[in-house]
Amino acid sequence: ALIIGAFAERIKFSAVLLFSALWGTFCYFPVAHMVWDGAGLIFNWGAIDFAGGTVVHINAGVAALVGAIVIGPRIGLGKDMMAPHSMTLTLVGAGMLWVGWFGFNVGSNLEATAGATLAMINTFLATAAAALAWAAVEAMTRGKASMLGVASGIVAGLVAITPACGTIGPMGALILGVIASVICYFFVAVIKSKFGYDDSLDVFGIHGVGGIVGAIGVGFLSAPSMGGTGLFVESGSVIEQVIVQIKAVGVTVIWTGVISFILFKLVDMIVGLRVS
């Protein structure tokens, strides 16, 4: 569902279905095993990923970027008006997403304990902070905030808190939400146009980048000195935890980047990617 947003309006339905089945098998399952299985590579490094920052967001975000580049931009990009056709439905969707996100972030605790409560409040605070931060940055850079921007900020906050919500404190969640929102805004507003790739719904700029910010930030913010519940690396050192988080991000980016590229090319050979 995330990946499709990057090349909406220009890919064949048959290509989406074939790619989705292949990507789930060769990208999602291996990364989920590495991160969450007790015998997994990244799990055994001591990396923290509570609800899927690497497994879902970086994994899908990088695949989305690869897809947008391989498939090419929409016809009329930069010349035709391509605003959302209904701001109302965009915000309905953002609201449903925020509510649903409590399900998988809090649900990742697997039991109704204080750990679930921590994940709940962190998911709420990071998202609220990110929405306000996006609106503030937009107002400063463009002269006024927009509701589309607020919706983008909401998603950026939700993504960033996903790997971190079980191990950082509420103040850490506020900090992470603000930082992620500002960095995602920069990627959406500056980097995308500079490099010219057509990521229709900013999947890489928000999910990919937000996931990276959250996955690395959790290494700092999980430390008890920062209000967190503790680190996963044996030494308990913040620097070591952050290095492990960066390694986990690196493995995910390389794995999904290379495999996704191969799969897109394979699907292009079998059924073709673009609509005529």
- 187 has a pLDDT exceeding 90: yes
pLDDT digits (tens, 9 = 90+) for 87-118: 999 999 999 999 999 999 999 999 999 999 99
Give the per-residue pLDDT at 82: 84
CA distances from 104 to 121, 261, 276 (A): 14, 29, 38
Which positions ≥6 away from 216 have C-beta within 8 Å? Answer: 242, 245, 246, 249
Give the per-residue pLDDT at 162: 98
Give the per-residue pLDDT at 262: 98
Helix 13-23 to helix 238-270 angle (10° resolution) is: 140
Give the per-residue pLDDT at 81: 85
Read off the pLDDT of each residue in 40-65 and give the average, rounded to a whole number.
97
Q: How confident is the model at residue 195 (pLDDT cuts 50, 70, 90)?
A: very high
Q: Note the pTM of the prediction, 2 decimals.
A: 0.96
SS3 label, residue 168 = coil
Q: Residue 89 corresponds to which tokens in the numbers above? A: 């439905």
Burial class, 186, CB count within 10 angstroms (exposed 0-12 / middle 13-18 / buried 19+): middle
CA distances from 214 to 19, 26, 70, 102, 275 (A): 27, 24, 27, 17, 35
Give the per-residue pLDDT at 186: 98
Q: What is the mean pLDDT of the chain?
A: 96
- 57 has a pLDDT exceeding 90: yes
Give the per-residue pLDDT at 83: 79
